[in-house]
Amino acid sequence: MNRQTGPSGLLTAATPVGTHEGYMPGFGNDFETEALPGALPQGMNSPQKCNYGLYGEQLSGTAFTAHPPERTWTYRIRPSVKHSARYRKIELPYWQSAPNVDPDVISLGQYRWDPVPHTDERLTWLTGMRTMTTAGDVNTQVGMASHIYLVTESMVDEYFYSADSELLVVPQEGRLRFATELGVIDLRPQEIAIIPRGLVYRVEVLEGPARGFVCENYGQKFELPARGPIGANALANPRDFKAPVAAFEDREAPSTLTIKWCGQFHVTEIGQSPLDVVAWHGNYAPYKYDLTAYCPVGAILFDHPDPSIFTVLTAPSGVPGTANIDFVLFRERWMVAENTFRPPWYHKNIMS
């Protein structure tokens, strides 16, 4: 049986599936259809047990927070993870994308990776960075890159800034110090830091080896998400973000300054520390945030809400409601609900 909800909101019966006339007219309508009676759950999207032993999954055509959202819930015989295995490469030489992708990079399928193994190699913030994946184009200032860092030693008379991006740093182990032009940020696991585009800094190891993740944001800068119906409180509160007080170095010593520019790195020699800002005022600064201060919200009756309710920071795109990057936190929390105690559903999402 097939049903649709038209602009009037009324349900109308349609031709059963399997006949030539089995179409549901309408543009942007909400449709209901089932090839077996009772296969479509009623009253919820993700019951603990679907009829016929089916698997409930969501296909998202927009970001969760886009208005209006576009998504279709599917109930499958096999979960989508079963429809994917190892891929082999084929050539479609006339179908290319910008920017050109390294042909040896395998991007399809489901992947996971181990942490970067510890090593006796001497690695700084620059030499210890490893790119895992990229999206968009650094030259057009759209998209991002995801890196893993392993740092075993401090930068000594070395300084760095990125003209390409701001960096979101998520430590996994060890402690780092970001000595920046605008002050000092000490960072440990369960904290994050934002290093703005164009800010000069040096990274020192306070407790090592230090390992973690970096999200390199080419696009619009991170901001707090709009809370919408959540209201004025919960999630990440503005007062919990910390910017450093002024601190400076008045020190002459042969040093290097490395710049990341259009995906390339350039270095110059200077005779002093560039961290010599004695005072500053404004609203463009590095900051850190303690993730244990984040107040999550969740379901209190049934179903799994979209993970967008766990957004800590978002970097908007040119499309309202669709982010260039979302940084989402799944911290410890109670997950109690009626008739829906099961892992969150698998779904495809064009935003990511």
Catalytically active residues are 304
In whole angstroms, what is the distance from residue 171 CA to residue 77 CA? Answer: 40
CA-based nearest residue to 79, from 58, 48, 103, 51: 58
What's the order of all strands across the beta sheet hosting 347-349?
71-76, 55-60, 347-349
SS3 238: helix
* 8 A C-beta contact, residue 309 and residue 53: no
Contact 195, 167 (CB under 8 A): yes
**Distance of alpha carbon 5 from alpha carbon 1, whole angstroms:** 14
296 closest CA partner among 343, 234, 238: 234
88 residue type, one letter: R
